[in-house]
Structure 1
Amino acid sequence: MRRFSLWVRDNPVVADSVLALLLFALDLSALPDSSHKPVYLLFALLLPLPVIVRRVYPRTAALTLFVLSQLSIGVSGALGDPTLHPSALGLGLALYTLVAYVGRREGLFFLALLIADGVSTTLILGEDPASVIAFSITFYALCWTLAEFTGARHAYDTEVQARLAVADYDRERRAHDAVAAERTRIARELHDVVAHAVSVMIVQADGARYTLRRDPDAAERALGTIAGTGREALRELRRTVALLRTEHAPDDLPQHGTAGIAGVVEMMRGTGLAVDLELSGELDDVPPEVSLGVHRVVQEALTNTLRHAGAHPKAWVTVRRVADRVHIEVVDTGGVPVQTAITGSGLGLVGMRERVAVLGGTMEAGRDPSGKWRVVAEVPVYREAP
């Protein structure tokens, strides 16, 4: 039943055709009273026709119905036939349609025409003015009132549909933003793992090639560093891929802490990068996501130092926790890269800024007045609830 009602609502011509047939039947009931039956039957056929398209073309249907009504009154007056067409009630339907589906301004204009129609009917057919006025006021007031209720319901339905459309758009946008944020997070994680490992492995491979014949022990140490870095990178990649295979991030994220930072520094020292490390505060007692973020910032900053800080780079790493914030500072000599230095994509700093921003912190990077390159970040230990 509900499906049928929805179909009728979406096909207004069907329901209005039924109304037109009812108006035609009313006219046929008055046909025996007419003294000029062929003329009466002709207008009985014509008057209901505009009702069929009253909701499809409301203005045209109303005007056509009014003109036909005036013609029928004029012809009946000329022929001396006082029989009225009951289908003229369709004028009230036209008024209702204009007010409900078009607007009050069109409804008022049409109401003025209907008043003129009532006056002309009284004058031409000699009807009782009081009865005509009383019936017209009652009938058209009822039509207008019903139209107001229908118009209000249509306005409410339109507003609900608009809100549903906005809600659907917001839901799709949030889903798209969530997917984009997840892709950015995975891309950032892969960049940090791969860029760091590959940079260390390339530097070590170049060093091993140069010292293979002159210093086999140094070459062997470099190859050992390459192997260790590769295994560590493989473990990190497996963990990142595991994130992709699960719907939610695992609760057992690795806690890097001071040992993780020291491990990164020691690995970079193995590549020939001189690094001074200073750790202070309770760095092992922070949430895993903060620990990972601090670890990645130090790792990426030292990787950039290895790439871009010249032939004999040196870096100073300071990580300290003060109250509920972790301060990170990585400074290097900021030298000019040698010709064999590894070129970067420029995404390292972007990734660090994104990671720090996700954790609710701030980061700055650039050269200081002495020419050294400085990366400074501050991350809250616990994010405030939104």
Structure 2
Amino acid sequence: MRRFSLWLRGKPLISDSMLALLLLTIDVLAVGDADNKIAYLVLGVLLVLPIIFRRTHPRPAALALVLLSIAASVTHWAAEDPSEHPALLGLGVMLYTLVAYVGRREGLWYLGALLFEGVIAHLLVGKPEGADIPFTALFYALCWTLAEFVGARHAYDNEVAARLAVADYDRERQAHDAVAAERTRIARELHDVVAHAVSVMIVQADGARFALRQDPEIAEKALGTIASTGRDALRELRRTVELLRIEHAPEQLPQHGTAGIAKVVQMMRDTGLDVSLQLSGELDTVTPEVSLGIHRIVQESLTNTLRHAGPDPRAAVRIERGATEVVVAIVDSGGVPTARTPATCAEVRPVRITAPASVIPGSGLGLVGMRERIAVLGGTLTVGRDDHGGWAVHAVIPLDRTTAE
């Protein structure tokens, strides 16, 4: 039964047709009091027809029902037939429909039309009589009151449905944003792992090819570096993929620390890059997220130096942990060979951007990845030329948002 009622709720024409049929049945049962039964039945059928369309076309149906009620009064007056139509109960049903589904203003207009129709009926056929007027008024008042309750319920249901729709949209949008953020994180991690290793391997392979005939010892060393870099990259890639498969495991992020940074610097030195390193503060006690961010920034910056800083590249790395932040600074020779001494850690300082990111040499996915990583950590990243023409990367990572002291 409940399933049938739910099915009828979405089909107003069917349920209203059943109501009209019920009113017609009651009207037919009262046909015995009519003098002209055929005219009575025809008028009874016409009176219930607007009930069928009371919810799909409420305004036209209400107007038609009022006009038919007036026509019934005129017909009875002309034929001097005292019989009444029980189907006129549909007038109250229509009042309920207008107030509940359309609005109070339309209900008031309809109530005025009923008052006008009642005056005409009273003048023509004497119906309703004086004693019936209070009962008629009470009937319409009950219809109005019931409509108010039902209308309030409909308004509440519509509001709940609207809120559920908004909640569903927000949930879908958040799910989409989460998927996009996860894809970005995966792409950033894989780029940091693969790009660094491949860049080192390409440089070493080119060097080994040129030194193969003239200096086999250097070529053999380069090939060893390629093999070692490949193994480290494969191991790092496996660890990254394993972490990405775990839904919630932030504590399992790789804690690179000072040992990991020193290993990256030493690997770059083995490729021929002149790198100096300066560390200060308790860097091994920062959170895994900050530690990984520092490691990736150093790794990506030195990889870019190896790619673009010319035939005799030099770089200086300074990492300093303060009370509230970690400062990471990397400066290289910038691809401009000069006679000045190699860069030192003292020369690494905050730099200003001298060109938009779209025209910065080498500002590809690596630089974008660094910016995204720093943004996630709530820090700032500055890149550009330093005062000596070298290329510098300066990152500041706050500790208050990411490190539990």
Superposition TM-score tier, normalisation by shorter sequence: over 0.9
Distance 2:281 2:396 in 1: 14
Answer with 170-179 or 294-303: which moved more.
Answer: 170-179
Answer with 358-367 or 117-126: which moved more.
Answer: 358-367
- Residue by residue, what CA displacement relative to the aligned partner does 1:177-211 show, whole Å, maximum 9, x if unpaired? 11111111010001001110111111111111111
Shift in Å, 1:14: 2.8
Matches within 5 A, 1:48-197: 48-127=48-127, 130-197=130-197
Distance 1:344 1:203 in 2: 16
Matches within 5 A, 1:299-314: 299-314=299-314
Distance 1:362 1:133 in 2: 81
1:374 aligns with 2:379: no
Matches within 5 A, 1:201-280: 201-249=201-249, 251-280=251-280
Shift in Å, 1:328: 0.4
Secondary structure of 1:251's counterpart equals: helix
Q: Give the equivalent residue in structure 2 for 1:329.
A: 329
**RMSD of aligned residue pairs (Cα, Å):** 1.9
Q: Give the equivalent residue in structure 1 for 2:348.
A: none
Q: Which amino acid aligns with 1:274?
A: D
Specify every segment of 5 or more residues in structure 1 that has no aligned partner in the other structure, as ranges.
338-342
Shift in Å, 1:245: 3.0
Distance 2:372 2:325 in 1: 18
Distance 1:329 1:364 in 2: 10
Secondary structure of 1:261's counterpart equals: helix
Secondary structure of 1:370's counterpart equals: coil
Distance 1:250 1:324 in 2: 22
Shift in Å, 1:382: 4.9
- Residue by residue, what CA displacement relative to the aligned partner does 1:263-314 show, whole Å, maximum 9, x if unpaired? 1111111111111110011011112221111100110111111112222221
Q: Which amino acid aligns with 2:375?
A: A
Determine if contact 1:101/1:151 at 8 Å carries over to the other structure.
yes
Distance 2:149 2:210 in 1: 90
Q: Which amino acid aligns with 1:111?
A: L
Answer with 326-335 or 245-254: which moved more.
Answer: 245-254
Shift in Å, 1:101: 0.8
Shift in Å, 1:60: 2.2
Q: Which amino acid aligns with 2:146?
A: L
TM-score normalised by structure 1 residue count? 0.93
1:7 aligns with 2:7: yes
Distance 2:293 2:244 in 1: 19
Shift in Å, 1:64: 1.8
Answer with 6-15 or 232-241: which moved more.
Answer: 6-15
Determine if contact 1:287/1:382 at 8 Å carries over to the other structure.
no
Q: Give the equivalent residue in structure 1 for 2:371.
A: 353
Shift in Å, 1:379: 1.4
Determine if contact 2:243/2:252 at 8 Å carries over to the other structure.
no
Shift in Å, 1:47: 1.0
Answer with 253-262 or 328-337: which moved more.
Answer: 328-337
- Residue by residue, what CA displacement relative to the aligned partner does 1:17-44 show, whole Å, maximum 9, x if unpaired? 2321221122123212112221111111
Distance 2:274 2:18 in 1: 92
Distance 1:85 1:20 in 2: 13
Distance 2:142 2:196 in 1: 80
Q: Give the equivalent residue in structure 2 for 1:294.
A: 294
Distance 1:257 1:240 in 2: 17
Secondary structure of 2:393's counterpart equals: strand
Answer with 190-199 or 365-374: which moved more.
Answer: 365-374
Specify every segment of 5 or more residues in structure 2 that has no aligned partner in the other structure, as ranges.
338-360
Secondary structure of 1:101's counterpart equals: helix
Same amino acid, percent of matched pairs: 66
Distance 1:384 1:121 in 2: 83
Distance 1:9 1:108 in 2: 26
Answer with 375-384 or 172-181: which moved more.
Answer: 375-384
Secondary structure of 2:283's counterpart equals: coil
Q: Give the equivalent residue in structure 1 for 2:33.
A: 33
Distance 1:252 1:126 in 2: 91
Q: Give the equivalent residue in structure 2 for 1:365.
A: 383
Determine if contact 1:118/1:133 at 8 Å carries over to the other structure.
no
Distance 1:274 1:300 in 2: 16
- Residue by residue, what CA displacement relative to the aligned partner does 1:198-234 show, whole Å, maximum 9, x if unpaired? 1111111111111112221111111111111111110
